[in-house]
Amino acid sequence: MLNASLKDLSAALAQRKISSVALTQLFLGRVAELNGALNAFITVDAEKSLAQARAADERIAKAAAQPLTGIPVAHKDIFVTKGWLTTCGSKILSNFVGPYDAHVIERFNAAGAVILGKTNMDEFAMGSSSETSFYGPVKNPWGRECVPGGSSGGSAAAVAARMTPAATGTDTGGSIRQPAALSGLSGLKPTYGLVSRYGMIVFASSLDQGGPMAKSAEDLALLLNVMAGFDARDSTSIDHPAENYTRDLEKPLAGLRIGVPKEHFGAGLSADVGKAVEAALAQLEKLGARRVPVGLPSSGLSVPAYYVIAPAEASSNLSRFDGVRYGHRAKEYRDLADMYRRTRAEGFGAEVRRRILIGTYVLSHGYYDAYYLKAQRIRRLIANDFAEAFKRCDLVIGPTSPTVAFKIGAKAADPVQMYLNDIYTIPANLAGLPGMSIPCGFGKDNLPVGLHIVGNYFSEAKMLNLAHQYQKATNWHKREPAGIQP
Amino acid sequence: MSWEIVIGLETHAQLSTASKMFSGGSTAFGAPPNTQANPVDIALPGVLPVANRGAVERAIRFGLAVGGEKVINRRSVFARKNYFYPDLPKGYQISQYELPIVKGGEIRITSPTRGDIKIRLTRAHLEEDAGKSLHEAFPDMTGIDLNRAGVPLLEIVSEPDLRSAEEAVAYAKTLHALVRWIDICDGNMQEGSFRCDANVSVRRPGGPLGTRSEIKNLNSFRFLERAIEFEAKRQIEILEDGGKIVQETRLYDPERDETRSMRTKEEAHDYRYFPDPDLLPLEVSEEWLERERERLPELPQAKRERYQREYGLSVYDTEVLTQSREIAEYFE
């Protein structure tokens, strides 16, 4: 059961081989057993989860089940969840209980899925290692001295350690794909606007996108079927016709053109990751895909542009955390300005404060044109690069992250080294394109390597098709970390 | 030697929609504190703004009334004005900055000294109101009422074309009558639905513009007149004593009939305006413009001209008859 696909779990529930209550108890037991070591969850509430499981069992009994009815799903603690503590990994929200459900939570609830718990994350999703959480760092199940990646590291570790069948994440610069790569699982960041941001605590409005994290591409397709959908409460939500993302999974890859950007195979890419990715490309060719060279010449500008745009938006988005209406407020203060200062200095961690300061600076009078407007122009260049590439290929493929998982603390003191982790994933966010990561082998210290797939707008079904065909031909996604067997 | 007073007005007209600028919260006046503030209005984590179509329609109708199609930007952009204040829940106000929905236009007024004149409009833009801080009700504490937070406003900015307190009042009254005539604002000044800020400076006739001060939140025609008169006199006295005017924001105190400094230019905020990434640019199609034009009643100016032409009425009589739409409709 712990390793079962969502499809198999769904069938087992439908055939009454197991009840949702029993399945939920099984995974809650895994969480109880492993969370002390991995710190993947911030909040678990067995009573609430089991109440949902009982409701799911009734629904199954009435033959009113949908594919995910009765299946436990863990949610990144960035999604506001009614009646659940929703912290975003921050002290400033450490007392905040969700008064409403995010659109993503509503969708999973409507599908009859069970909320298994809220997962740990970098504070306000700012980080690539899940070390900046107020609730302490998440450990990588593949090597507990290593980070699981971030910011959706709690979700990644939870899926990798089989504490949950599936989880949600959010991705602003790689926060679904990089932890998926570093933790040996599959993760998808959809086209910007496909999944509503309503109730997803904002980091950078124009880049944030929610998406699924699971053991396989097939599971991702089932999860995306639930998550995707227009929401009038999010002005950037796109009224795209509903799709069944499983529809193309079984298509053969013959004739599919995969674009390989040389810029993603240069200096900075570690040899072990490069080797695994090359082997995956060869495997895809064996499956009938055709490899074409493409260029993403503006790629090198993406990290600097991202670290102007994302902090600029964040500096404004996080202004609402001021201690006035909810969340942490400093106990003692002299006057209003002092209340703001102390509340925010106490409530935010160092990385969040750093980004608020960067963002405030780049939006300041006299600097706006030189930084923010220039970064927006770079963003256009990067989108144009992809538009050119997609004239010559169907999907762009490369490494997700330059290295395998690194040691906890190794990059914590050097923000620029940390930021460079997302060098291959950031361009898709800047362009609003869908991107995903799937396991494609192992590198140094037997740690997982991720294969990065970027598609054109709304080509999720095509990306899932390639990933599923690859996963039918390989076993990387079925490998599980040692030391987590029951 | 004489002095010339130069005045420009910024007027906030509350748009008469049932719900707020970016949320479904009610705009009704007078409810108990915080009973009309929904999750978007109080800026809970994760909530997002959605522009109110009715407010945009009213802004379009205003543009059509003051300048026709040519003054309506087919594409305008909502921007964030960032500052911290307890009655500003998000820590920023959503407004329009570089690209407002209305650019240009004019208001025709009758000046006691210059006769019929045109006052040019710089722009009119959509924005949301802030909440209210209540300092009286709680000893040693401040109450925050967010019922007003998010109420839709049209900020109408005039060029510095006004030359006396009387002209400023004539302009404000004409504008007040117009927004009620075209039914985009109830004009209730006691409830704050129509309020003005005045930019006042003085100069020698024909000379360059002097340094201005901005007087905030004038919510009656009388206060507007008194505040401008006081402020012009204050500035003239300083200049005649050989002093210099500092650019500053001042508050009018009706009880003492004077203006007081709130903050100088040096203390001004850096609002760090940038386009709101939670909202798409506002696109106005030709069809939409056409629909709003059809909803626009015959305007007071057109009615006056028609009454003179068709009924042979005097200018004075037509002015009396077009003071409000109710009177004009009764007459017809």
Cβ–Cβ gap B46/A313 under 8 Å: no
E-strand ranges in B30-148 read 75-76, 78-82, 92-96, 102-103, 106-111, 115-128, 132-134, 143-145
ipTM of the complex: 0.96
Distance between terminal CA atoms of chain B? 51
The pLDDT value recorded for residue A412 is: 85
CB A121 within 8 A of CB A76: yes
Inter-chain residue contact B45 with A93, CB threshold 8 Å: yes
- Which chain A residues are closer than 8 Å to B79 by Cβ? none
Q: What is the pTM of this model?
A: 0.96
Which residue in chain B has the smallest CA separation from A102?
B46
The Cα of A329 is separated from the nearest Cα of chain B by a number of Å equal to 13
- Mean pLDDT value across residues B128-148: 90
> Among this protein's residues, is A262 annotated catalytic?
no
Q: Could you identify the residue written with the tokens 């940390």?
A: A418
- Residues 6+ positions from A401 with CB-CB distance below 8 Å: A149, A174, A178, A181, A182, A273, A421, A422, A424, A425, A450
Q: Do B90 and A236 touch (CB under 8 A)?
A: no
Which residues of B fall within a CB distance of 8 Å from A324?
86, 89, 144
- pLDDT of B235 > 80? The answer is yes
Tokens representing A179 are 């932890």
Q: Which residues of A touch B279 (CB under 8 A)?
A: 235
d(CA A91, CA B91): 19
Supply the pLDDT for residue A486. Answer: 53
Q: How many CB atoms lie within 10 A of CB A377?
A: 10
Q: Does A96 touch chain B (CB under 8 A)?
A: yes
Query: Which residue in B90, B274, B278 is closest to A319 by CB distance?
Result: B90
Comparing A310 with B329, the larger pLDDT belongs to A310
* pLDDT of res. B274: 97
The DSSP element (H or E) to which A160 belongs, if any, is: helix A153-160
C-alpha pair distances (Å), A468 with each of A6, A133, A464:
14, 33, 6
The reply to whether A315 belongs to the active site is no
Q: Is the CB of residue A16 less than 8 Å away from at least one CB of chain B?
A: no
* Burial bucket for residue B242 (CB in 10 Å: 0-12, 13-18, 19+): exposed
pLDDT, averaged per 10 consecutive residues of chain A (486 residues), comes to 96 97 98 97 98 98 96 98 98 98 98 98 97 98 97 98 98 98 98 98 98 98 98 97 97 98 93 98 98 95 97 98 97 95 98 97 94 97 98 98 96 86 96 98 98 98 98 97 74
Chain A residues with CB under 8 Å of B274 CB are: 312, 316, 363, 368, 372
Query: What is the reported pLDDT for A238?
Result: 97
Is A1-486 CATH 3.90.1300.10?
Answer: yes
Q: How many CB pairs under 8 A join A and B?
A: 95
Say yes or no: A377 contacts chain B, CB-CB below 8 A.
no
**What's the rounded mean pLDDT across residues B263-275?**
86
Tokens of A269: 């890419």
Report yes or no: A379 and A192 within 8 Å, Cβ to Cβ: no
A76 is catalytic: yes
Give tens-digit pLDDT for B10-56: 999 999 999 999 999 999 998 999 999 999 999 999 999 999 999 99
* Contact state of B86 with A202 under an 8 Å Cβ cutoff: no
Q: What is the pLDDT of residue A419?
A: 87
**Chain B residues touching A352 at Cβ < 8 A:** none
Tokens standing for residue A430: 């800047």
Q: Which of B21, B23, B38, B47 to mutate to test the interface with A (most CBs of A within 10 A)?
A: B47
CA of B68 vs chain A CAs: smallest distance (Å): 29
Cβ separation A199–B279 shorter than 8 A: no
Beta strands at A114-119 and A72-76: parallel, antiparallel or unpaired: parallel
Retrieve residue B325's tokens: 């739409």
Phi then psi for residue A461, to 5 deg, are -65, -35
Q: Does A97 touch chain B (CB under 8 A)?
A: no
Q: Write out chain A residues lying below 8 Å of B84, CB-based.
A: 319, 322, 340
Q: What is the pLDDT of residues B101-120, one digit of tens each?
A: 999 999 999 999 999 999 99
